């Protein structure tokens, strides 16, 4: 089973030889390879030729990530939601790994609310206005999805933080009115275009878990353990219904101690690593400031688990 087959099987809850692995972002490229992604602030300011060179530089970094960390999928995160980036990645890596990208800003969520006091008032006093803005955001997301799938994206991760460690950013009735139907349209568009769909959010999602499941994505990420998301319980209620990704503690990856990181890694793999429908990853991304050695330790344990699983099944 190769990486592409492994990922497609994970998305569709089919048996795999071992759980696949990738991260939604990896931003320790300088520490790992002595390379750097182009400055993200420059993407919209450069001409076509310079942008082409910048995309090529991104592919150089992605090649190292796939080779060294043995990713089974590549989400093109720089340039963000980019047709150019997806097309280049499919051309260079499409026979090796599943290639996709990320789409955000298409829903009411923590990331898109600028004035929380006004938003709270509008929930009760101006719901029509909130729906109009939700429609605008959603239509924009649908258009982006179409362009990215046309460019070759095989999966789309819809990245919208709808919860903090304390719980969802609004009540469940409000969530089901102002978020769920629009998220369902985004998920349906990804799937109707023949791509796999992941829904991402940090935070405590259990109060709205049934709402997220009702939109019928293939997979949900990040299963945030710092917010109290227990992957054993989540797997119990989702087994056979959708795939899961994540749950290795980002706080342990960032600050340790290594014993906490090892415990979290072991817990995830033992909970889900022997079943279909799980992608091993952190509960967020591999972000700047995280010690590279911690990510490497997480992967050492993962690769050991995969070797042991192979022996178990021999």
Read off the pLDDT of residues 61-73 as tens digits, 9 standing for 90 and up.
999 999 999 999 9
Q: What average pLDDT does this structure show over 287-308?
A: 97
Per-residue confidence band for 313, with pLDDT thresholds at 50, 70 and 90: confident
Supply the pLDDT for residue 96: 95
Supply the pLDDT for residue 314: 82
Mean pLDDT of the chain: 97
**Residue 140: partners with Cβ closer than 8 Å, 6 or more residues away:** 105, 106
**Residue 268: partners with Cβ closer than 8 Å, 6 or more residues away:** 231, 247, 248, 280
Q: Tell whether pTM > 0.85.
A: yes
pLDDT of residue 33 exceeding 90: yes
CATH topology of domain 3-313: TIM Barrel (3.20.20)
DSSP 174-210: HHHHHTHHHHHHHHHHHHHTT-EEEEE--S--GGGHH
Express each pLDDT in 75-122 by its tens digit: 999 999 999 999 999 999 999 999 999 999 999 999 999 999 999 999
Per-residue confidence band for 255, with pLDDT thresholds at 50, 70 and 90: very high
């Amino acid at each position: 089973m190769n990486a592409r087959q492994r990922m497609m099987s994970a998305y569709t809850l089919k048996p795999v030889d071992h759980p696949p692995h990738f991260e939604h972002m990896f931003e320790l490229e300088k520490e790992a390879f002595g390379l750097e992604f182009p400055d993200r602030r420059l993407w919209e300011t450069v001409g076509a030729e310079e942008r082409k060179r910048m995309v090529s530089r991104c592919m150089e970094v992605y090649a190292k990530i796939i080779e060294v960390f043995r990713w089974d999928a590549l989400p093109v995160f720089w340039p963000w939601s980019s047709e150019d980036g997806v097309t280049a990645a499919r051309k260079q890596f499409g026979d090796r790994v599943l290639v996709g990208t990320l789409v955000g800003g298409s829903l009411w969520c923590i990331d898109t609310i600028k004035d929380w006091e006004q938003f709270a008032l509008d929930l009760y006093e101006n719901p029509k206005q909130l729906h109009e803005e939700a429609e605008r955001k959603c239509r924009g997301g649908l258009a982006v999805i179409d362009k990215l799938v046309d460019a070759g994206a095989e999966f789309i991760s819809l990245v919208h933080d709808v919860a903090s460690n304390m719980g969802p950013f609004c009540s469940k009735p409000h969530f089901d009115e102002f978020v769920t139907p629009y998220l369902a349209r985004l998920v349906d568009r990804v799937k109707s275009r023949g791509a796999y769909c992941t829904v991402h959010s940090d935070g405590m999602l259990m109060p709205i878990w049934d709402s997220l499941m009702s939109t019928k994505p293939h997979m949900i990420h990040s299963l945030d353990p710092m917010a109290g998301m227990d992957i054993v319980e989540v797997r119990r209620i989702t087994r056979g219904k959708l795939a899961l990704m994540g749950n290795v503690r980002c706080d342990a990856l960032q600050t340790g101690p290594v014993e906490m990181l090892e415990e979290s890694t072991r817990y995830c793999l033992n909970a889900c690593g022997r079943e279909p429908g799980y992608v091993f990853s952190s509960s967020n991304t591999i972000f700047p400031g995280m010690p590279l050695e911690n990510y490497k330790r997480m992967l050492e344990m993962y690769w050991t688990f995969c070797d042991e699983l192979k022996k178990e099944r021999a």
